[in-house]
Amino acid sequence: MIRPIAITLLALLPLAAFAQTQEPKKPEKPAPTVLEAETDIRFPIWMDLDALKGERHYLFGTGVREKTIFQVNVYGFGWYADRDAALPILRKAAGAMNLKSALNDEKFHEAFLSDNYNKSMRWVMARDVDGEDVAEAFDDILEPGIRKIAKDKKALDTGLAAMKQLRGYFASGQLDEGDEIIFIWETGGKLHTIVNNHEYKVIENFHVCYAMFEVFMNEDPIDKNAKEMIVKGVYPYMFPDRN
């Protein structure tokens, strides 16, 4: 009985109103892109994130993850953020510093890791990588960041358990060249992991969020040039008249 009733109600709508609701929306133009030079991977200058109800994140900088002494490109990455929410926090942290000082100020770099605004990263694989290798890499790069901010054993154990959960998303299977991974650090310590448009269960742990992004902004980052690009890219928006 439900289906005939629905059809009857639809038939009672004024024709003009029905036509208006059926008018197709004009698709938005895709975001312009920039090229990450080492990998030839393109990154849009903004991303509208379905996981955050369409919130727009703007590109701050790009870089590449290299592995081994032979400098094999593993993936290209782009660092994004909710720019309007990020700028006041970064501006306050920068204080009176000029750009040259900010580039060398680790306390300023810590502001990029604030839990008070949403940020994201887009990775695109530059080569095929076994899933277990990716999982093991998380052990190496995330654990130091978790230990850095864990205040006690309980916090450390909880952070390491969250790392193990993230590790499990990648431990089986393989990532192929061109595969896309998006990590979103949502305020409140929520880590979204999206692989080729498939979103895994959100991990709610500040420590693993911090560790995932910290390796790109610490004293020995994944890509030093990318870290510098991120700071240089955001500074003109914070202080248009400051060099």
- Is 49 inside a domain boundary? yes
Overall residue count recorded for the chain in this entry: 243
CATH code, domain carrying 127: 3.50.70.10
Amino acid 29: pLDDT = 84
Question: Who wins on pLDDT, 72 or 240?
Answer: 72
Q: What is the pLDDT of residues 9-46, one digit of tens each?
A: 333 334 344 344 455 555 678 899 999 999 999 999 99
What the block records as the tokens of 85 is: 């929410």
Number of domains in the chain: 1
Q: Which pLDDT does position 141 carry in this prediction?
A: 92
pLDDT of residue 9: 31
User: DSSP E strands: which ranges in the chain?
Assistant: 33-36, 41-44, 46-49, 55-67, 72-81, 119-125, 129-130, 174-175, 180-186, 190-195, 198-199, 203-204
Q: Is residue 64 within 8 Å of residue 226, measured between CB atoms?
A: yes
* pLDDT for 135: 87
Q: What is the pLDDT of residue 28?
A: 74
Dump pLDDT digits (tens) for 67-105. 876 689 999 999 999 999 999 999 999 999 999 999 999
What confidence tier does 2 reach under pLDDT thresholds 50, 70, 90?
very low
Separation of alpha carbons 67 and 142, rounded Å: 16
138: which residues sit within 8 A by CB, 6+ positions away? 163, 166, 167, 170
pLDDT of 22:
52
Residue 53 lies in a domain: yes
Instruction: List, for residues 104-161, the tens digit of each pLDDT value.
Output: 999 999 999 999 999 999 999 999 999 889 888 888 999 999 999 999 999 999 999 9
Name the residue range of residue 211's domain: 33-238
Segment 177-225, tens digit of pLDDT: 999 999 999 999 999 999 999 999 999 999 999 999 999 999 999 999 9
pTM: 0.87
pLDDT digits (tens, 9 = 90+) for 38-71: 999 999 999 999 999 999 999 999 999 998 766 8
23 in a structural domain? no
For residue 212 the two structure tokens come to 């995932």
CB atoms within 10 A of CB 31: 15
25 domain residue, yes or no: no
Are 110 and 145 in contact, with CB atoms under 8 Å apart?
no
Task: Answer for the pair 159, 208: CB distance below 8 angstroms, yes or no.
Answer: yes
CA 112 to each of CA 16, 80, 216, 229: distance values in angstroms, whole numbers, following the listed order: 51, 11, 10, 13
- Asked if residue 22 belongs to a domain, the reply is no
